[in-house]
A and B are shown apart, each in its own frame.
Chain A
Amino acid sequence: MADLTALAEPGSFRDRDSRVFVTPSGVYRALSARGLEDFEALAATGLFTRATEDGKLVRTRLVDQPAPPGLLPEPPAGVLEHERLPFITYPYEWTFGMLRDAALLHLELIDAAMDEGLTMKDASPYNVQFLGARPVFADLGSFEPLRRDEPWIGYRQFCTLFLYPLMLQAYRDVDFQPFLRGSLEGITPPEAAALLPRRGHGVLTHVRLHARLERRQGDESVREVRKEMSSAGFKSEIVRANLRKMHKLVSGLDWRTPSTAWTDYGDNNRGYDAEDRDAKEAFVRAVAARVAPRLAWDLGTNDGVFARIAAEHAGLVVASDFDHATVEHLYRELGREGDRTILPLVIDVCDPSPARGWRNAERQTLEERGRPELTLSLALLHHLSITRNVPVRELVDWLASLGGTHVVEFPLREDPMVQRLLAAKRDESHPDWDLAHFEACLGERFEVLRREALGTRVLFEAAVRD
């Protein structure tokens, strides 16, 4: 069973007809006889071809590949090979726009599937991934034949993991990510009823009515209700009507991003004059060109200027920032450009995504999902050290733990931003925020390949020592 643990994708255990496993040669999905039958039904449709060509479905083919034993209750009847996605992300790392686009993609696919006599057995945002700023549906095991008298099976899950988090952001301007990170099942109808305003579009029905019925009918058998509904004439046309209304509701949800200290940060706080800024861009460009990373991280990306420079030479740049509004702006820009090389994420490096779910393995930490070959830490470390109190030595140790090559910016104590951050502290001390101390720590863990002083800041190119 050691092989199973090593190969099985830890978040893919719920469906007894389909399980993802990963080997050095690719990403595969073992299918039961029923799962194979469902896939063959999907593969025969125009939807499969069209959505794959449009980049809405992850590229998938049936292959002659053995599956490790024990993945499914019965020996697999078939194995699919999926296109390998460069970096897996979770909804609690997405922006509002990303979650909304993922929701709309799900609704469009299930609606199109129903044209072909198919439906989806769930409605989880974890089934959607992002290729750059474009959502792609990754769980082909979700498709199954439509039964005419069956309600929308994924409706409740759609509400708890898509609709309510989106409403919370749109109607209350409350970030949804902590809620989704706090519960992998999302926000329940009673919780949403307590959190959301009565007047929001769709709240009365999808939230309040839903919550009231859930409280009252909590002990009612799903099977019994289904039998009653079928007997009363429930049919798939009602599901279609609901899907289209839901699409309209979700399309209309809008989050007016607030102006935060960070949304205009890039324009106001570059810390450089034009000449030095050009030199910084050239520095980053040269390192990216030399490393040509498959995966790069731009930590504290802000408006994504340096993520874009790195992306000129990288397979994918994960551009993260802790400020939701800032990342949302970047996502919207990248979305308009149809970008597939920069993946914007809401990440606080002082409180990053933890291991979550079943056996703490279902949802992984960032590092477990792929370590970067190049990491940019530009205009970042002074915020972490001075504002968030992370010791300089720990910062350097953490960067070293990521491996690969790093571009690190160290603003001197006389830098205006450092002065501002220090002034916010009672004693203004932070004695370890010192260039000599930083260089000593850096030298212990890294080989410094290049050093360039630009105004009140110093840039380093450094590679982790083996």
Chain B
Amino acid sequence: MTTILAYLDPGSSSMIVQMLLGGVAAAGVALKLYWRRFLKLLHIRKDDPEEGLYPTEADTGGQSSSRVNGTPHADAEQRPVESGKR
């Protein structure tokens, strides 16, 4: 996937809504995503690290990268990359 973030914060939940509303094609994506989350919950599957973008669990002292951020509206991780969108 691309590693670019837009200047507008799309909101994580708003992205999920799109996936849930996107019809048959989106249903497959949603099923896959939630299945993977379920597996992660059972510790059967690990996060897919993305090169150079996300700190690994080792980097953050065991803290998941998804918990580095604050709320979608005060996402400290996203803002600094505005000037390096692509």
> Contacting A210 at CB < 8 Å: which of B14, B77, B86?
B14
Pair count A-B, CB < 8 A: 160
Task: Using known A-B contacts A150-B2, A218-B71, determine if residue A155 contacts B17 with beta carbons closer than 8 Å.
Answer: yes
Residue A231, interface by CB 8 Å = yes
Report B-chain residues with C-beta under 8 Å of the C-beta of A238: 18-19, 22-23, 25-26, 29
Query: CB distance B6 to A221 under 8 Å?
Result: no
Interface of A is mostly: helix
What chain A residues lie within 8 Å of B10 (beta carbons)? 151-156, 222
> Which of A205, A229, A233, A235 makes the CB contact (< 8 A) with B15?
A229
In the assembled complex, the CB of A422 is this many whole angstroms from the nearest CB of chain B, namely 51
Decide if A14 is an interface residue (CB 8 Å cutoff).
yes
- What is the CA–CA distance of A210 and B12 in the complex, to the nearest angstrom? 10
A220 touches B1 (CB 8 A): no
Is A60 on the interface with B (CB-CB < 8 A)?
A: no
CA of A222 to CA of B54 in the docked complex: distance in angstroms?
12
Q: Shortest distance in angstroms between A335's beta carbon and chain B's nearest beta carbon?
A: 30
Please tell me if the beta carbons of B21 and A217 are within 8 angstroms of each other in the complex.
Answer: no
Nearest opposing residue in chain A for B49, CB measure: A227
Q: Are A222 and B9 in contact (CB under 8 A)?
A: yes
Instruction: Name the residue on B nearest A211 (C-beta).
Output: B13
Q: Which residue of B11, B19, B67, B83 contacts A156 across the interface (Cβ within 8 Å)?
A: B11
Decide yes or no whether A371 CB sits under 8 A from chain B.
no
Contact between B48 and A242 (Cβ–Cβ < 8 Å)?
Answer: no
Q: Which residues of the other chain, B, contact A149 by a CB distance below 8 angstroms?
A: 1-2
Q: Is there contact, CB below 8 Å, between B19 and A229? A: yes
Q: In whole angstroms, how far apart are the Cα atoms of A322 and B83 in the complex?
A: 43
Contact of B23 among A147, A154, A241 (CB under 8 A): A241
Smallest CB–CB gap between B54 and chain A, Å?
A: 7
- In whole Å, how far is A229's beta carbon from the nearest beta carbon of chain B? 6
Most buried by B among A210, A220, A228, A234: A228
- Answer whether residue A224 sits at the interface, using C-beta atoms and an 8 A cutoff: yes
A213 at the binding interface (Cβ < 8 Å): yes
CB-based contact B33/A232 at 8 Å = yes
Q: Is B82 an interface residue (CB 8 A)?
A: yes
Chain A residues in 8 Å Cβ range of B83? 16, 73
Q: For B39, what are the chain A residues with a Cβ–Cβ distance below 8 Å?
A: none
* Distance between A14 CB and nearest chain B CB, rounded to angstroms: 6
Complex interface bits, B54-86 against A, C-beta within 8 A gives 1, otherwise 0 = 100000000001111111100101100011011
Cα distance A17–B11 in the bound complex, in angstroms: 21
Contacts of B14 in A (CB 8 A): 155-156, 159, 189, 210, 213-214
| Pairwise interchain contact A216-B13, C-beta atoms closer than 8 A | yes
In the complex, which residues of chain A have a beta carbon less than 8 angstroms from the beta carbon of B23?
A: 238, 241, 245
Residues on the A chain within 8 Å of B54, using CB: 223-224, 227
State which of A15, A122, A209 has its C-beta within 8 Å of the C-beta of B20: A209
CB of B22 within 8 A of CB of A221, answer: no
Q: A11 to nearest B CB, angstroms?
A: 15
Starting from the known contacts A222-B9, A222-B10, A223-B77, 18 additional A-B residue pairs (CB-CB under 8 Å) come to A16-B7, A34-B85, A73-B83, A147-B4, A151-B18, A213-B13, A213-B14, A219-B71, A221-B65, A221-B69, A222-B72, A223-B54, A228-B33, A229-B15, A232-B32, A232-B33, A235-B25, A242-B21
Residue numbers of A with Cβ under 8 A of B are 14-17, 34, 73, 121-122, 147, 149-157, 159, 189, 205-206, 209-210, 213-214, 216-235, 237-239, 241-242, 245
